[in-house]
Amino acid sequence: MICHILLISLVSVTGGIEILPNAANDSTPFVVKVKASELPPDTEYEFCLWVFDKDQNSAISQIWESEEMEWKYGWTGYQPFSQDTASTRIGWAFLRIHKEPLSNNYYIKYKIRNGKEEWDTQIDYPDFKILDMTTEGGWLVGTIFSNPNLDSPLENSVVLAKSDSEVVGTYITEDNQINESYPLNLGQFRVAVPTGTISSLSFTSREGESITGYTETSAPWTISAGKITYIDSFTIKQTLSLDISPNPFSPNEPENKVTYISYKLPYNEAYIKIYIYDRRGRRVRKLMDGDLSGSSLRTIWNGKNDKGNILPMGIYIVYLQAEDKSSNKVETKKAEVVIAKRL
């Protein structure tokens, strides 16, 4: 079973991994639910999770660090627990595989700290699998709505993709404040799952409470190797649109430190390029470079260049190019974005 509680012991701390889905070998993010009990109620704790390859003797995953809003290597990125009760903490770790494993000889590392003390453990879990997305897995993509009228996206909620009763893929709908490198709109998700049939989806809050969600099409959905299966019924837009918000934004400040670049396409699928240029026409950041996208998606820019340095204040140009997968027709769009001081 992928969805279960695996108890571990961290000195006086108990808990473990409650939901562990399949992972993709192509850097598609996935989420893992962790639990910790017997922690003092008046102390703040955070956790870290990573996949360790025994053959390479190194971490092969990255974790999303919510405070700095960037992917961190191995054990260097920490997440706060999202539920804090007198006896139990629950958290969701966003992970992605950034290095191919040499074999199936890998395990999970789990660490908790509070600033003064630190506990970690090794979890050998034989059912955890990194899928080869060319032969073993595909992607399920779509929008979840909070009502049957399909006019209100279900935001920041956990999607559990199931084959029969087994959870085989998990993710959290937008806006989840994560840079997946393939942009998504509010209520949308993209999850890597094994080939075969997805028989149902279920939904919870980040605190684990069951909630009701609605989709445009109904299960089951067939997953083919290396292919995207959409659960939405697409209505093709007539023009290419580009939106940037907030604009201006301030990378050096605690608020408005990132901007969201959203677009809508006149195609079901297209190869997307998104580049950032300065006023002198020099390319300073490459956000997408021929990535396959659906018709309405979003990405995040943190104001940094390709070297990881925050760019100076000023006006920058966002360049969008969309090439229709079916016809190879190319359309482009440009828009200005401003990096400013505190707004």
pLDDT at residue 205 above 90? no
Which residues in 265-329 belong to E strands, given as ranges?
270-277, 283-293, 296-301, 314-324
Query: Contact at 8 Å (CB) between 157 and 138?
Result: no
Q: Which domains, ranges and CATH numbers included, belong to the chain?
A: 3-129 (2.60.40), 137-230 (2.60.40), 241-339 (2.60.40.4070)
Q: Is 74 helix (H, G, I), strand (E, B) or coil?
A: helix
* Selected residue with higher pLDDT from 107 and 134: 134
* Selected residue with higher pLDDT from 225 and 176: 225
Q: What is the pLDDT of residue 67?
A: 73
Q: What is the pLDDT of residue 207?
A: 77
Query: Per-residue b/e over 111-134, b at no fewer than 16 CB within 10 Å?
Result: bbeeeeeebebebeeeebbbbebe
pLDDT at residue 237 above 50? no
Count helices and strands in the chain by DSSP H and E runs: 0, 30
Q: What is the DSSP secondary structure assignment for residue 328, as one 8-state letter?
A: -
Query: Which residues, including other chains, have CB under 8 Å from residue 117's CB and lie 6 or more apart?
Result: none
- Condensed to tens digits (0 to 9), the pLDDT of residues 246-268 reads 999 998 887 778 998 988 887 77
Q: Report the alpha-carbon distance of residue 248 to residue 259 in Å, rounded.
A: 8
The first and second tokens of residue 343, run together, are 């707004």
Going from the C-alpha of 293 to that of each of 150, 154, 299, 324, the distances in angstroms are 22, 21, 11, 10
Q: What is the pLDDT of residue 286?
A: 93
High-pLDDT (> 90) share of the chain, % = 24
Q: Report the alpha-carbon distance of residue 153 to residue 21 in Å, rounded.
A: 24
- Condensed to tens digits (0 to 9), the pLDDT of residues 293-310 reads 876 677 889 999 999 899
